[in-house]
A and B are shown apart, each in its own frame.
Chain A
Amino acid sequence: MKNDILVNLKNISVSFGDNRVLDNLNLYIRDKEFVTLLGPSGCGKTTTLRIIGGFIEPDEGEVYFGEKRVNGVPPYKRAVNTVFQRYALFPHLNVYENVAFGLRIKKTPEKEIKQTVENMLELVNLKGFNKRNVTSLSGGQQQRVAIARALAVKPKLLLLDEPLGALDLKLRKDMQIELKNIQQRLGITFVYVTHDQEEALSMSDTIVVMDGGIIQQIGTPQDIYNEPKNAFVADFIGESNIVDGVMRSDFLVDFSGHRFECLDKGFSKDEAVDVVVRPEDVDIVPAEQGMLRGVVTSVSFRGVHFEIIVDIGGFKWMIQTTDFQPEGAQIGLSIDPDAIHIMKKSKYSGMFGDYSSFSDEFDELSNAQEEKE
């Protein structure tokens, strides 16, 4: 089991001046795994990637590739390759020569270079682009060349730094599927940096959620979505209503003035907790039948569903439903035990998960506009 660990970061800390970018980070990456480092900008995800690539040396801690310590080993001696955020293609070389760049440095025989480059260009759907100037390509095509160039030297590990960030939504979705296919077909390890939670959920085997230079949670996409560890993770991944609750006993929690059955246990009696309820897990029932009652304050149509904001005792909940509810309607809410997720209190408690700002902001905006006129 230990043998399939490809990269191991131990107690890594990095500071830029007074700014502590990574704080005692521990992470290992298994062979053939698709790992995504996910977090808002400035969370340290790119720094982590650059430490693996060898472009930044950690102030403290150790980097292992397999059993070998690689601190101080320069990038060109590391068996990892990077797909850079802004592609970083060589403008003085055409598509073929860009992809062949790493192979030429390795003094690969010309025949083999030709074979590999052809294969790589076919892999990224750029067959026949050999002679094209890289500056004449579209963003998506340049990205494909960058991927082909990094894969041509057959790395065991590919690092991708927000590779799809500059592409439009449709193209990004196509590329997500393609990247996942490439990873599975070649059977190599991907470490993927993004701030886009949807991208992370759809592609990854493992997601590493980061904030403030600290790993908040590591897990499969389902784990991260269904069992977030704290309010930050719950809020960053998807939409969530996060309310204060009190654990009365195993499987019983009080919040919003009502006692609910839940599936969580192991908390001490009367422990204050954060309760997460995903907007799609709330059922709307007639007001008199509801566990909770509230007034609809806003409704917006999102295509697949309506997104309604409900005021329940001053706390605004977001609910996604396919049944239209008019603004001002009194409704009841019913929440099943498996829709409730209990988290321990953390420094993020109370910072996220209330949708009152959502509508307030909106009101202020429209008020401001009216005043101007």
Chain B
Amino acid sequence: MNTRDSLRTKLVASPYIVWSLLFILAPMVFVVYYSFTTGAGDFTFDNIRLLSKYLTTFLRSIWFGIVATVICLLIAFPVAYIISQKTDKVQRTMVLLVMVPMWMSFLIRTYSWMAILQDTGIINNFFARVGLRPVHMINTSGAVILGMVYNFLPYMIMPIYSVMAKMDMSMIEAAQDLGGNRLTVIRKCVLPMSVPGIVSGVTMVFVPSVSTFYISQKLGGGSFDLIGDVIERQFQQSYNYNLGASLSLVLMVLILICMAVMNRFSSDGGEMVI
């Protein structure tokens, strides 16, 4: 009886196991394999050694990722809180508005920002119209970070919102009842209880920000090379799969380390935030 049950369980799980092997494990094996081999297939550490050349790029990617994540968090937390306080109907509409930009292609959204930020773009045209001096915005680090924040903001709002929407309103009332004004209630009650949402939001924004490759090319004008751009070039232009793979591997390890630090912070975060 028991063995038949477990056999059936295995059978049901088999599509997922095959999927995992094919699309998760196999690519990882390839990445590791390419990282430690030459073009001819011989074992080598050269790819890893070459990485020191890209140290500044790595650091810049992580720095930009952190800045974009922090800005997203600062915007998303109040937005999520405001949405969660509305009636159900208004909530649905507002959530829809948050999601709408994601229905458009990532490329088109980034191109639109080029049109807006260019020296002859919409904003500078407007400035010229009202007699203000033009401001150089495109091809700056600010533009790159803006691109990241704009593209990844919904990934921060949604998890925080979903935690807040499930929050027991009587908990907030209890905090008010015990003498907490609006700010105190948010700081001592809403914020610590939103930690799970914040953690998953940070993960979902930080990881794609660090590894993005398109935003920096279009909005940074090539002067803010990020690690994603370097990886793309190894595969698309230099055809150096081995170096590209080793860059990816190191990026992956770095991201895992960041996540581990984050999770450690959040697991006893309930007490720490206060």
Contacts and interface: CB of A to CB of B under 8 A. Distances in A.
Interface string B182-201: 00100011001101000000
Interface in B193-236: 193, 195
A84 B174 contact: yes
Contacts of B168: 86, 88
Contacts of B188: 101, 104-105
A115 to B, nearest CB: 18
A61 interface: no
A106 B173 CA distance: 17
A153 B173 contact: no
Interface in B154-173: 168, 170-171, 173
A255 interface: no
Given A84-B173, A85-B170, A153 B192 contact: no
Contact of A74 (B170, B176, B178, B189): B176
Contacts of B181: 74, 76
Contact of A76 (B171, B177, B271): B177
DSSP majority for the B interface?
A: helix
A102 interface: yes
Contact of A82 (B171, B173, B180, B271): B173
A53 interface: yes
B170 A75 contact: no
B176 A88 contact: no
Interface string A261-291: 0000000000000000000000000000000
Contacts of A86: 168, 170
A55 B175 CA distance: 12
Contacts of A92: 192-193, 195, 270-271
A149 B178 contact: yes
A86 B170 CA distance: 8
A88 B168 CA distance: 7
Which has the most chain A C-beta neighbours within 10 Å: B173, B178, B193, B271? B178
A241 interface: no
B174 A88 contact: yes
Given A90-B189, A92-B192, A92-B270, A105 B173 contact: no
A97 B250 CA distance: 43
B179 interface: yes
Interface of B: 168, 170-171, 173-181, 184, 188-189, 192-193, 195, 270-271
19 contacts: A55-B173, A74-B176, A74-B181, A76-B176, A76-B177, A76-B180, A84-B173, A88-B174, A89-B171, A89-B174, A90-B174, A92-B271, A93-B270, A101-B178, A102-B178, A105-B178, A105-B180, A150-B178, A153-B178
Give the top 3 A-B pairs by smallest Cβ distance, nearest first: A102-B178, A88-B170, A88-B174
